[in-house]
Structure 1
Amino acid sequence: MTELDATAAHFVEAGVALLIAHPQRILERGLRIEDVVHEADSSTATFFRKFNTKSDFLTTVVEHLTRTPLPADVRDTVRTQMTNSGASIRAAVSALVAHYFPAIVDQKSTTATLLDHVFRGPASAALAGGYRLRDDALLDAFEALFDPEGGAFRRPFTARSFAVTVNAIVDGFRIRSQVDPASVSADVMSDAVLAFLGAVVDTSGHHQHLDDVVGDVGGVPVEERPMPRDPRAAIVTAARDEFGKRGYFMTRMDDVADIAGVPRAACKTLFPTKPSVIVAALQSRVDRLRESVDDDQLLGLDELTILQNHMLRCAQLAADELEFMDALLVAVAHDTYGEPEGLISIKEKLNLPAIIAPVIARGQDSGVFRKSFGPVDLAAGITNTLLMRCFTRRQNSPQDNATFVGELLLDGLGTR
């Protein structure tokens, strides 16, 4: 943003004031230099000493429509208010909203912000930067507000999506206040923010999901439903949804059974543990991987090509079965003392490294691959590296992830 001296800034302030005060006139006649000079109580000669052309002036006006000042120490402000409010989150939030409410709904400031959006356009880096500053300030306020409680966000909310949503709430009140000020008050805004905090912030330490709150509010008893025609498939489908929303550890088989419409006892009979559901969901896909490697060998493909094909298929599996592959990774990585049989079942039935270990061994025997390590260890290293790449680079295509790991592990870092 261009830094202005006092005289230039005065002209810009006059231009902004005209835009805000007389938008209809600006549409009809444009922002005329003589009007700006008159508003600034100055002269045309002085104006052109500060701005070479009208275009330069208009560009500067747009740049200075709304400045987003760096926020002061938000944490200190909120902590002070928490102390003054006796550590009451409701009282602190209400007091903070009441303090800042006049600035939030200020007509000139709101109009300038809306004009800023219109003139800069949706791709403005300056506007995006301003929102990031506001998001960061909100997260600082959140940390200060819930520091004693250790609040966490209920999934699927994250720190960033929380900040974006609160800022959207504030923006909505700002706009509504310009056309319907009687309906917008500090009390209504603080109630909205507190309601959102109550739904999204979890201070129980149970790592809850937003559905837990919505379910409690609804209070509607579960409708009695007949047993699904295929209870096993219904349970797997429900487990996929629960793993995706809650993660492996927070998913409960009783919840899965209820969602699937299967009696809990029957669910436990079919799937005694969470790992058993993972096996049921992924077994056929893993069997297909094994069959594909066998087919490649029958067709006489070389070991290097077989490994490259296999990595692409594994990467595709990780993308297609995201929820269950995530759960598989956690179940295998975690030392699940309480489910030894289930863990053994996973390692035996979903043994991805075992699919390519014979191919690596054959390549070592033929001199294609080095014998620095055993084929089982190499197969595990390749599989683990590929899956970790897929989990941490989900925005990439399976082809990109498989190619990256293939070039790294099969070709190495050195030049030929």
Structure 2
Amino acid sequence: MSGAAGLAAEAALRPSARGGRLGFAAAGAGLLVLAVAVGVLLWRGVGVWGNNHPHAWGFDLVAYAWWIGVANAASLFAAVLVLRRHGLRTAVNRFAEAAALAAVLAAALYPILHLGRPWLFWWTLPYPAVTGLWPQFGSALVWDFWGISAHVLVTSLFWYVGLIPDLATLRDRARARGRRGLARLYGLGALGWRGSVAHWHRHQAAYRMVAALVLPLLLSAQTVVALEFAVTVVAGWHQARLPLHFAATGLPSGLGLVLALAVLLRRGLALEALVDRADMDLLARLLAAAGLGALGAWAHEAATALLQEDAATRAAFVARLHAPAWWGAVLLGGLLPQAMWAARLRRGDAAPLLLGVACALGALLDRWSLVVDGVVPPRLPLHAPAYVPSAAEWALLAGSAALFTAALLVFARFLPAVSLFETRHEESAAEAAEEER
């Protein structure tokens, strides 16, 4: 193997650079914070969170809905590129799929920990029991279990099926270098791949089939999240537009993280030849277009809340307008990405990186605005303090971000960050076109 594909394979087999070791150290420190936060939660209970009347939800729902939105956006982006067979998939699909899987793992923390007794999570499973007790299928916790399980299954399959030919390539290269233990590990994942015509035919059919499964999965995942809001009696939480709202406002967050990862991987793994400026330019413009879609969702939300909804829903939305989170979400997730229409900003690395992270924070602020700022105080003359996240909640959020980062670092260290077989296909097509000329 030579050319750009060889560079991508070498990035997975060579020792970690200094920047990679520092990244692993920072992620490891974040995982220690996560372990402490989870330990405190298990020892003292969910009372360590800052939830109070009337704010029955806080970061536990905000972060969960946010991570699900990030995962859905990254999966949707990668699946559409595969189904359309767009050339951009060669550069970004592999780490977009990895980002989606890492975000799902981070999201899965919250429903389990919110059980209060997470060691009894298996009570949500419909298993035969002598007690005759079955899960309460009217409970949102059971919906979370099935939603997250389906999300993990389909996202993992989508990521893994696309990786099989590249695992075979790494197996062969590790064996040629005498690294037999690593070769056996890669070979186990490659499932006996030999690159025959039958293997390629089945692989491409399976890859497109799993990509097609991602699309209904995203609809169901956003619907389950919206349904959890809908079964409450909180004003503004039971609207039919919420699934579309979550999808539209979450799309810039997923694309923003993919763009930020593209900048970091190009620099950190020297993949400029694989993720070139044309790819970065298209990614930046897609982020700007996703920001326009998010702005449309927020405009629709404001119009329906102020002009069509009942008085309680209107009051809840007005309360959100008086808080900075809603405006911050519109600014970070909708307005700032429009700077990517400027070619001068798209050509650099700093602006795409910062705007990608800003879009992810904008989606987080939108979830905060809906979950926290839209809950108006009760009409009874009771003391209702404002919700303030506790140190345990901040630690859990930081720990989930560290889990997301650690999963991506492990992926980038031991697996190719871009698709090797797609890269080889492009190189072969370019050589054939050159010979014809």
Q: Is the TM value for this pair above 0.5?
A: no
Bucket of the pairwise TM-score, normalised by the shorter protein: under 0.3
**TM-score calculated relative to the size of structure 2:** 0.21
